[in-house]
Amino acid sequence: MGIRPESCRRMLLICAALIACVALVLAAGVIPPVKAEAARGETTEMAVKAFWLNISCNLAAAAVLFLMAWLSKGLNLVGKTVAIIAGLLAMLLGLALTDAAAAYLDHGPDMQIASILLIICAAADILGGLAVVVTAPLCPRPEVVKAAT
């Protein structure tokens, strides 16, 4: 049982875009208030570094998924494994964002907006990762795609 190669590529591209958008929202909407709070001494500077690490990992997972979707006509066993690992990474990063969102809920109004953005980003990360984990095993192998064309 599988899906068409075009559908597989499209789904991987959508998930890569969703995960990349999470990184952009974190950089533009979450890091500035966290930096401001760190300057006031209400939170540690380590939180900013943790968000940058999350952004880097999200961008790496999105780049891997984008390249896999763009360059391949199907996924062999290694490709499926790499896609599933990237999806699991995105889901774990989403769980880390839920922890940060819960920590910032009781802070000031700026941090409450950042917390809401963190919850949205966590949901997007978990949804994108889950979609990759479900889609990757259903993608056809390259040999099957060549035989069908």
Residue 94 scores a pLDDT above 70:
yes
The pTM (predicted TM-score) of the whole model is 0.90
Phi, psi of 144 (to 5 degrees): -70, -35
pLDDT in tens, 57-92: 999 999 999 999 998 877 889 999 999 999 999 999
pLDDT of res. 4 = 86
Tell me which amino acid residue 86 is: A
Residue type, 85: I
pLDDT at residue 1, as a whole number? 58
Give 14-51 pLDDT, tens digit per residue: 999 999 999 999 999 999 999 988 888 777 788 899 99
Q: In one letter, which amino acid is 22?
A: V
Give yes or no for a contact between 91 and 18, defined as CB atoms under 8 angstroms apart. Answer: no
Measure Cα distances from 107 to 101, 119, 121 in Å: 10, 15, 19
Residue 81: CB partners within 8 Å, gap ≥ 6? none
Indicate if the pLDDT at residue 113 is higher than 80: yes
Rounded CA separation 83/38 (Å): 36
Contact 59, 23 (CB under 8 A): yes
